Amino acid sequence: MNFTAHLAALLELCRGPWKLGPQLSHAVLIQLGAMCLKILTGIGQLVHESRDARLALIQLEFIERVEQQMQYQKAVVALDVELSAAHALSLPTLDALRRVPRLPAGEVDAFFAKPPELAAGRTCYGNAAEVIAAWLGISYFEAKRRIDDAHLLIGRRTPSGEQCEPRFQHLADLFARGGIDRHRIARVSRQLEKLEPEDTTFDGVGTELQARGSDGLPLEESAARILAEHGPNAARKQIDAQINQYKEAHGMVLPPKLGFFVGKVIGGVHCFHLRTDATQAEVFHSMAAQASNPRSKAGRAARKKTRLDENQANEPDTGHDGGTGTGPEQESSSASTPDWLISEQPMPEWARGESEQERDAADHGSASDSAAEPPADRQTEDVAEEGDAPSAAERRLNALMAMLVATRASGESKSIVPKVLVYMWLSDLQNLAEAHGVSAHGVDIPPGELRRLLANAGIIPLVLGSNSQPLDMGRSRRFHKGAIRMAIMARDRGCIVPDCTTPPDKTETDHYEVPWSEGGETSVWSGAGVCTTGHHQRHAEQIKIVDVDGLPHVILPEHLDPEQKPRRNTYWGALQLGDAPEPSQPDLSPENTLESSNGEPTGDQPGEPEQD
């Protein structure tokens, strides 16, 4: 067998539908479709048998591209079924159509040479969704969803039965072009449709898009731009935030009442339900973040396997978990790591854990330093860890109970003190009627709550670093802590590796230009926020961190980013080049003046357009 000749023939067949077009008969099209399915199935089996990791990755990418194309074709063909009134085909025609793929080519062509026979009276199916569901053996709602997606992203049906433009043109262009996950595009289009009035195109009445963002652009256009420019996690977060803001601004969301609600007792477990505003929520976020920090006494206490009572809360911390002297990470690693994963080479210096002296040093920092040094765990899901260690949810409960039962007179216990940090521009301070703030954990603080918070808040000029807030420690300190870390987090907000979702409290700071061990200094300008994985990847030269106009940017490996373009994560709202607003004159109207609890101004307004 001349394999090269057969391969050339297959390649010619692939080009056939575009080169020959209408010259291909219906029988040939059906045979080509069946052959493609057989070839794809055979290739998958051969790749599976090869056990070659390289071939498996290439095949996985190929299958993903096929699946993305199928997602597009599902919507296109569903619209074709609707436009061609396939639900009105007669029962004999539908029965015969099932047998067509098994007929000889001549009989297939003869079948399609006749015009389709429509039902004379009552049709078998009431609409396109019903016939698609029955023909494919899927639910009616899945079939209806495909047609609805087609209306949003492919085209709509006019009263005359013709096809017109889709409802969301910008998203439709992105959907047709590919390169972005089409499932995500379809999901966003469904979210946006709920904000729009009912589509009356089929009734002959045109409808315009009404949902617009604060910039005046249609939300659909903004969503298409965000999907094209950002990774999946950051794009989802930004689009969801825009949709929520629109709903709140137009009274589409009725917030539930705030309060602490006592629930049922289920199997001896008491259930409580808590609803807070944004400022109160940030207090709980701070408590949860510190409970997850194994470097502090409070964080290690929250990891104890026994439940806290009043006596336990007042016992001094010995620096050991349960008296074993080892943390849950050490226990799980020694118990669960298989022999074939243990390297015979010594661990490099940059990957080694910190010394006991450095570990104890974390206990003397403030609450804002809870993530100053590399955290041992970056998992944020509420799932149980290996062994008997408490889950993330149990650690938060332990920390909350320790706060509630702690005795103020006792100076021995190390309880958690939640701390609220809010990032905002100076221009926002000068326009408090509309200003929003963003907390260290990404909680949006609306104007009303922000004004109440600032009335009793201490304003820290992080960038200026005045009032004994040092932003450059030189060689006197290795770790970025205190005001230095606060300034770095105000700039980076979390890990700067594109699309990383590691929370800010689990983000480390890396001497990304000159390592501290090689003479690097500890300052805002020498540090970059990275997660544990990103930190190790940077030291292993798997990613690069470079300075671009004073902002650290990440260059991903070439197989992930062929353009090799410096990028910054946007998931947590990290500052980007050009983000700083233009300086403006302060509005000193009464509603924009910071007032204390007795109604008096709190002091002078800051005078430079720096971030606070």
Q: pLDDT of 172-223, one tens digit each?
A: 999 999 889 999 999 999 999 999 999 988 888 888 899 999 889 999 999 9
What lies within 8 Å, CB to CB, of 361 at 6+ separation is none
pLDDT of residue 374: 38
What lies within 8 Å, CB to CB, of 210 at 6+ separation is 195, 196, 197
**Of 279, 606, 215, which is closest to residue 437 (Cα–Cα)?**
279
- Whether the CB-CB separation of 473 and 484 falls below 8 Å is answered with yes
pLDDT of residue 321: 40
pLDDT of residue 247: 92
pTM of the entire predicted model: 0.65
CA angle 478-484-486, nearest 5°? Answer: 130
pLDDT of residue 212: 93
How far is it, in rounded angstroms, from Cα 440 to Cα 193? 32
How many Å from the N-terminal Cα to the C-terminal Cα in the chain?
74
Q: What is the DSSP letter of 244?
A: H
- Whether the CB-CB separation of 149 and 75 falls below 8 Å is answered with yes
Total residue length of the chain: 612
Helix (H) or strand (E) run with residue 238 in it: helix 232-249
How far is it, in rounded angstroms, from Cα 371 to Cα 285? 13
- Whether the CB-CB separation of 88 and 198 falls below 8 Å is answered with no
- Whether the CB-CB separation of 76 and 154 falls below 8 Å is answered with yes
pLDDT of residue 151: 96
In 531-605 the beta strands, taken as DSSP E runs, fall at 544-548, 551-555
How far is it, in rounded angstroms, from Cα 142 to Cα 426? 50
Q: Tell me the three state secondary structure of residue 493.
A: coil
**Of 575, 570, 574, which is closest to residue 499 (Cα–Cα)?**
570
- Whether the CB-CB separation of 519 and 599 falls below 8 Å is answered with no
pLDDT of residue 418: 65
Blockwise average pLDDT, block size 10, the chain, 612 residues: 72 67 80 87 93 94 94 96 94 92 90 91 92 94 96 93 93 94 96 93 86 92 94 92 91 83 83 85 80 67 53 41 40 44 51 45 40 38 52 80 64 60 70 71 74 61 40 58 83 91 87 79 86 90 90 91 91 78 48 40 34 35
pLDDT of residue 368: 39
- Whether the CB-CB separation of 483 and 465 falls below 8 Å is answered with yes
**Of 253, 252, 158, 263, which is closest to residue 210 (Cα–Cα)?**
252
**Of 226, 260, 258, which is closest to residue 241 (Cα–Cα)?**
226
